[in-house]
Structure 1
């Protein structure tokens, strides 16, 4: 019988990376069989968290097998190449028109897919700046020192925009027990250099919305009394796929005159894997033409106004799959199912006597924001989050709120499409067990608390 070499033995029974370090610093000199490469990656990924227990991220972690097939079979399509893949471009515009309809756009509109809400926000805010510049130049006025007004309840991308594109951020601080903004907060910050006001629909912190209707009325009054036409951009990264289905009577979108653009993340409550976002303008004139570029080196003349160029078409197709698969009725069913399970979790936490549920009864994303009630000197919310992760693998973030409300530390549990009522009950028991453990042993070292971070996923 022929003696096998080491290489043959590895090929038959395993691979050399069972006992050797994996490539991690230098570019590898040689390759390996595809099975080995697959196993190397799979073994690393086995150490990651379970998406079913990740209640921190807003990003979609499950899609139907048919949607996964659409994605897998179209990974090779470069969306930007409209000459080669015109149907993908048409499907993008179908999605834009459907979203414009969902958001009550009054007439012909425009928009585009993006890598996520971060890119959509950058584009929408750039258009606000360019349109403000157009108005100022038409009045022969200075275009120095533009500013943008928003609350501290926004995602960090808004501060990034201001820093990257030289706009003064006028940030309205939050207060203890006041986690969104309204017209009375916005009014003192407006002047002739204000390029726009941001209204958040479904904050990252507590899942509530700013008083967008009230801000709209303020801006209408300002336009009439002071001659300043200040638009609103709605950051609907999470909420613009929730409010139309859970709160159809709530007014926040293009039904309000000053709302000129809306962004939404398809990879959040649009129920598509990351990363896909959307930007929709109220009317075609709301897109600043200085942002549009024309190129013909892919075979036909195309207009583009995204920050990224080459990108896959697969997630655009997956978004369209969800739109036609679910429709309004299906999205409404999914959102209500998540809302019902969030309500059940909130009720369980209140019944425990340990927790206060924040903003209960208000319009809110399908999530539960909560904090310890009363004094628990031996541990805090970060200790509970750490204990849940260590004992049961749940990822439930604990974090402090922005300035002036930073003394408030809360936890937040996203209740997603894949979270069943049994999982709600299991999480409730695990939270109770974590608290019981902490009652006995006390909290962890402060350095350990810092390991728990808030997930966002724009």
Structure 2
């Protein structure tokens, strides 16, 4: 996020530019500037107290039902993360065991996603699934460019097939790497790309098709197998080699455990790469993501830098350099701590809670879910179109915030922007007991609107990509 801070220049407003301590201590008798470096030092306890006081105004992360990001981990995992904050994961020569854990995680994910040959496991950790998407997008572009050069054709007009409900990172990728985004529209009641529309948008300049396993707006799994089968037919007829990339940021840690027979991964011929977020349903605090390729052939060698740094040569493919290794350690902890049984149990519990909330919302006769069956622990719902009420979803969101619940209200993407919806994401820290409390508050709010509709005003907002 970009920040532009405007200091007040009025003498009477000086207090707006300073922190005014109230602690009984000699070194806090003077105000502390907010926007410039203080001249002197203060006791670490007082600095801690000042910062902690400001952070009290943040929302409670456990009640944040807007974000997919993990907000709870076991004490043992937290301790491991604290122990390894100081390890720079890029320094593989100094921290070889952290590098080894990263490599093990890549192999575990490759196995989870059914790579044809385990010895060809290929991938890397990232700061999140957005960076992983960028890296996979670059590999798609480079591979397409090589194919076009082999045919003696121009390489100046690449395009990428993406849904209008795609996460914003893909729009960023297209803008930053000069790729034409070809948006396939969604529609009311059909919130994923139609297979025929996907194929219609493809041509010889298409670097790939992005299929979403867990859309931002509704949590739906797009029909990856249908896209694959259609591309198989299209590629055989045209001689093209248009691949599939699966954006499994949210669903990549759900489908293998709750719908293991669903074919969306490397079991499908044209799926060449997958991005997934470890800090979503991988159950790790932010930020860690993973980029996994079908095999080493799908990651062009000229994208990999071999850096002679800090004691040894190392291959690296990333948009940044230094970052802590503790998220990788925490990811590996989860893998060996939970195993398939543990992940299945936790995610099924999240689904049970989500289904309870969905059913409870529909029982109010005020709300309806946008999709009949949940694919992941996410409920997107709106006020029923066949009833007349004196409030909207933005008022509901604001009233829930008064009780501490952070539930976003927003409009759906192009072609269904008339739909104003609320979205609830269930994570491990959201217990069934908390779900009951949420529904009690929701029913209390509906009762309040019924009794005092004129006293409550609406403020419309937009969805933040999380």
Same fold (TM over 0.5): yes
In structure 1, the residue matched to 2:3 is: none
Find out whether 1:76 has 2:86 as its counterpart: yes
Give CA-to-partner distance per residue, 1:264-298, whole Å, 9 cap, x none.
00000000000000000001100011211111121
Q: Confirm or deny: 8 A CA contact 1:246 1:336 kept in the other structure.
A: yes
Find out whether 1:425 has 2:453 as its counterpart: no
1 CA distance for matches of 2:363 and 2:383? 13
Give runs of aligned pairs for residues 100-139 of structure 1, distance below 5 A: 100-107=110-117, 108-139=120-151
1:50 positional shift: 0.9
CA RMSD of superposed structures (Å)? 1.7
Q: Confirm or deny: 8 A CA contact 1:182 1:210 kept in the other structure.
A: no
Give CA-to-partner distance per residue, 1:190-233, whole Å, 9 cap, x none.
10000000000001100001111111011100111110100111
Find out whether 1:438 has 2:444 as its counterpart: no
- Of residues 289, 299, 303, the one that matches 1:287 is 299
Indicate the SS of the match to 2:422: strand
- Of residues 18, 25, 28, the one that matches 2:35 is 25
Please, what TM-score do these two structures have when normalized by structure 2? 0.92
Find out whether 1:255 has 2:264 as its counterpart: no
Give CA-to-partner distance per residue, 1:127-154, whole Å, 9 cap, x none.
0000000101111111120000011121
2 CA distance for matches of 1:420 and 1:12? 38
Indicate the SS of the match to 1:148: strand
Indicate the SS of the match to 1:449: coil
1:333 positional shift: 0.2
Find out whether 1:403 has 2:414 as its counterpart: yes
In structure 1, the residue matched to 2:108 is: 98
Q: Confirm or deny: 8 A CA contact 2:366 2:387 kept in the other structure.
A: no
- Of residues 66, 71, 88, the one that matches 2:98 is 88
In structure 2, stretches of 5+ residues that fail to align are 1-20
Q: Confirm or deny: 8 A CA contact 1:60 1:269 kept in the other structure.
A: yes
Per the alignment, do residues 41 and 223 of structure 1 end up closer, same or farther by CA in structure 2, a change over 3 Å counting? same
Find out whether 1:234 has 2:246 as its counterpart: yes
Find out whether 1:318 has 2:327 as its counterpart: no
Q: Confirm or deny: 8 A CA contact 1:399 1:454 kept in the other structure.
A: yes
In structure 1, the residue matched to 2:399 is: 387
In structure 2, the residue matched to 1:350 is: 362
In structure 1, stretches of 5+ residues that fail to align are 1-9
1:344 positional shift: 0.8
Per the alignment, do residues 29 and 252 of structure 1 end up closer, same or farther by CA in structure 2, a change over 3 Å counting? same
Q: Confirm or deny: 8 A CA contact 1:56 1:456 kept in the other structure.
A: no
- Of residues 52, 63, 69, the one that matches 1:42 is 52
Q: Confirm or deny: 8 A CA contact 1:265 1:277 kept in the other structure.
A: yes
Q: Confirm or deny: 8 A CA contact 2:32 2:38 kept in the other structure.
A: no
Indicate the SS of the match to 1:454: coil
- Of residues 56, 66, 82, the one that matches 1:56 is 66
2 CA distance for matches of 1:365 and 1:382? 24
Indicate the SS of the match to 1:429: helix
1:22 positional shift: 4.4
2 CA distance for matches of 1:411 and 1:105? 37
Give CA-to-partner distance per residue, 1:24-56, whole Å, 9 cap, x none.
211211111100111011111111111121100
Indicate the SS of the match to 1:222: helix
In structure 1, the residue matched to 2:463 is: 454
Give CA-to-partner distance per residue, 1:232-254, whole Å, 9 cap, x none.
11000010001111111111110
Indicate the SS of the match to 1:260: strand
